[in-house]
């Protein structure tokens, strides 16, 4: 009998497992794959940087998460976090004009960096940019494995979950009080259609190179500083997660990278690809799970726009939809979910999956 079982061993699942374990709970993480971070998290470039853009709830949330993540990684796992700094560069003339508008909403600790300085760092760009010195790069798989230190991990595919006598039963040998779904793009265990979770293919290539890149870069892809002779290049590859990747998943990525660095100086070592999960409004999904069947049966008028008190499934939680910023968002999202589960603190409305339920019901 466990206090908590987490289904899914990506960065979201590993982060909430770590956080609950640190609070003294007996935690087990289960995953259909035999390795931790075998999917989208393991394929992530794992760049940790703020969000630039105009003011929005997602903008403020991401930048809060960025500050939390940097402190978290530096405090607990500094060996897997490389504080390289991140330069954000416009991708074209229109984007360059927008950067002037973004300035007022930037994460407060940034510096202007001129094009000639960017070029001196081995980066080919005609544009000025923003330098976030606190940003960096995480060793994705190693960080997930470190988060799991002291937490039991079992490779098993769960086909059914059942709530009985105050606990969740996952199979004949596994029971728990709290069940946390960190299943990413795969959601077969329970009806959470209202959350609208979708998948986005992402790829990363690790390259051996002597190219002297002085900092990490983000444009419409991310390129890491040369760390021990390895440069990481990653980005979203395809927004259609239902179809497999093209035979050469790095082709378009390298075309973009060639605008910024001398890609002839790169020797491919390994390719990583996987699906990252996201929500329809791009914000994370962290909190309880609405009992959709109960709500539709007892309050049929919600399909016509009526509101009703939401009924959640007891002791069932999700942490999902972190998208391409999983390693930025995961530490803070896990902290907020822990407070919700163990301390009874209200979930942040910006990430509460309940925000999506009534709109979904009206579309039925």
pLDDT at 317: 98
pLDDT at 248: 75
> What is the band of 126 on the pLDDT scale with cuts at 50, 70, 90?
very high
Q: CA torsion sign, 194 to 283 to 345 to 358?
A: negative
> What is the band of 244 on the pLDDT scale with cuts at 50, 70, 90?
low
Domain positions in the chain are 2-40+142-197+280-362, 47-138+198-278
Q: Say if residue 177 is exposed, middle or buried (CB neighbours under 10 Å; 0-12, 13-18, 19+).
A: middle
pLDDT at 320: 97
**Percent of the chain's residues with pLDDT above 90:** 80
Q: Say if residue 226 is exposed, middle or buried (CB neighbours under 10 Å; 0-12, 13-18, 19+).
A: buried
Contact partners, residue 189, CB within 8 Å, separation at least 6: 7, 158, 160, 161, 181, 183
Q: What is the largest CA-CA distance in the chain?
A: 67
For 284-298, how does the pLDDT look when each residue is reduced to its tens digit (9 = 90+)? 999 999 999 999 999
pLDDT at 247: 64
215: β partners: none
pLDDT at 144: 96
Report d(CA 257, CA 314) in Å as an integer.
48
Q: Regarding predicted confidence, which is higher, 26 or 37?
A: 26
Q: How far is CA 163 from CA 168, 181, 277, 316, in A?
A: 4, 14, 26, 10
- Across residues 233-258, what is the average pLDDT? 73
Report d(CA 35, CA 41) in Å as an integer.
12
Beta pairing class for 136-138 and 81-82 = antiparallel
Report d(CA 323, CA 337) in Å as an integer.
17
Report d(CA 112, CA 132) in Å as an integer.
9
Contact 103, 231 (CB under 8 A): no
pLDDT at 141: 93
- Across residues 125-132, what is the average pLDDT? 96
Fold exhibited by the domain 47-138+198-278: D-Amino Acid Oxidase; Chain A, domain 2 (3.30.9)
| Range list of H helices, the chain | 11-22, 57-76, 93-102, 115-120, 140-147, 251-257, 292-298, 326-342, 357-362
> What is the band of 187 on the pLDDT scale with cuts at 50, 70, 90?
confident
Q: Regarding predicted confidence, which is higher, 38 or 67?
A: 67
- For residue 221, which of 91, 125, 102, 50 has the smallest C-alpha distance? 91
- Across residues 340-352, what is the average pLDDT? 97
Please tell me the total number of residues recorded for the chain in this structure: 364
Contact 234, 204 (CB under 8 A): yes
Report d(CA 179, CA 317) in Å as an integer.
6
Report the range of poorest mean pLDDT among 33-42, 143-152, 159-168.
33-42
> What is the band of 185 on the pLDDT scale with cuts at 50, 70, 90?
confident
Report d(CA 251, CA 255) in Å as an integer.
6
In 128-208, the DSSP E strands lie at 129-132, 136-138, 152-155, 162-164, 167-171, 174-181, 198-208
Residue 250 scores a pLDDT above 90: no
Residue 162 scores a pLDDT above 70: yes
Q: Is 8 helix (H, G, I), strand (E, B) or coil?
A: coil
Q: Is 205 helix (H, G, I), strand (E, B) or coil?
A: strand
Report d(CA 87, CA 363) in Å as an integer.
42
pLDDT at 238: 56
pLDDT at 246: 58
pLDDT at 199: 87
Tell me the pLDDT of the chain averaged across its residues: 93
CATH architecture of the domain with residue range 2-40+142-197+280-362: 3-Layer(bba) Sandwich (3.50)
Report the range of poorest mean pLDDT among 1-5, 220-224, 313-317.
220-224
**Percent of the chain's residues with pLDDT above 70:** 97
Structure tokens given for 178: 């709290």
Contact 205, 256 (CB under 8 A): no
- For residue 14, which of 204, 162, 171, 150 has the smallest C-alpha distance? 150
Residue 164 scores a pLDDT above 70: yes
295: Cα separation from own chain's centroid: 30
For 190-242, how does the pLDDT look when each residue is reduced to its tens digit (9 = 90+)? 999 999 998 888 889 999 999 999 899 999 899 999 999 999 999 876 555 45
Report d(CA 227, CA 333) in Å as an integer.
28
pLDDT at 240: 53
> What is the band of 155 on the pLDDT scale with cuts at 50, 70, 90?
very high
């Amino acid at each position: 009998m466990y206090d908590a079982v987490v289904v899914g061993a990506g960065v979201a699942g590993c982060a909430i497992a770590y956080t609950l374990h640190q609070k003294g709970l007996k935690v087990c993480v289960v995953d259909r794959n035999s390795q931790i971070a075998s999917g989208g998290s393991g394929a992530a470039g794992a760049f940790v940087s703020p969000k630039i853009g105009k003011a929005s709830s997602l903008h403020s949330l991401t930048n809060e998460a960025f500050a939390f993540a940097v402190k978290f990684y530096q405090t607990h796992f500094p060996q897997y976090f490389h504080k390289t700094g991140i330069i954000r560069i416009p991708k074209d003339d229109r984007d360059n004009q927008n950067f002037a508008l973004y300035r007022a909403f930037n994460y407060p600790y940034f510096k202007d960096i001129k094009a000639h300085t960017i070029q001196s760092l081995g980066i080919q760009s005609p544009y000025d940019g923003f330098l976030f010195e606190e940003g960096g790069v995480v060793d994705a798989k190693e960080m997930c494995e470190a988060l799991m230190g002291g937490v039991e991990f079992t490779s098993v595919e769960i086909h059914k979950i059942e709530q009985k006598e105050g606990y969740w039963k996952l199979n004949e040998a596994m029971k728990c009080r709290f069940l946390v779904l960190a299943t990413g793009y795969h959601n077969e265990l329970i009806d959470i259609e209202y959350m609208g979770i979708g998948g986005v293919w992402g790829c990363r290539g690790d390259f051996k190179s002597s190219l002297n890149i002085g900092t990490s870069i983000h444009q419409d892809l991310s390129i890491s500083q040369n760390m021990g002779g390895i440069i990481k290049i990653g980005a979203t590859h395809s927004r259609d997660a239902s179809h497999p990747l093209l035979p050469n998943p790095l082709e378009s990525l390298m075309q973009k990278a060639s605008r910024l660095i001398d890609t002839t100086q790169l020797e491919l070592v390994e390719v990583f690809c996987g699906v990252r999960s996201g929500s329809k409004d791009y914000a994370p999904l962290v909190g309880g799970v609405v009992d959709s069947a109960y709500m539709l049966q007892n309050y049929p008028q919600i399909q016509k726009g009526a509101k009703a008190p939401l009924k959640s499934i007891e002791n069932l939680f999700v942490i999902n939809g972190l998208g391409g910023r999983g390693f930025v968002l995961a530490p803070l999202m896990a902290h907020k979910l822990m407070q919700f589960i163990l301390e009874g603190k209200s979930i942040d409305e910006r990430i509460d999956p309940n925000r999506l339920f009534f709109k979904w019901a009206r579309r039925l």
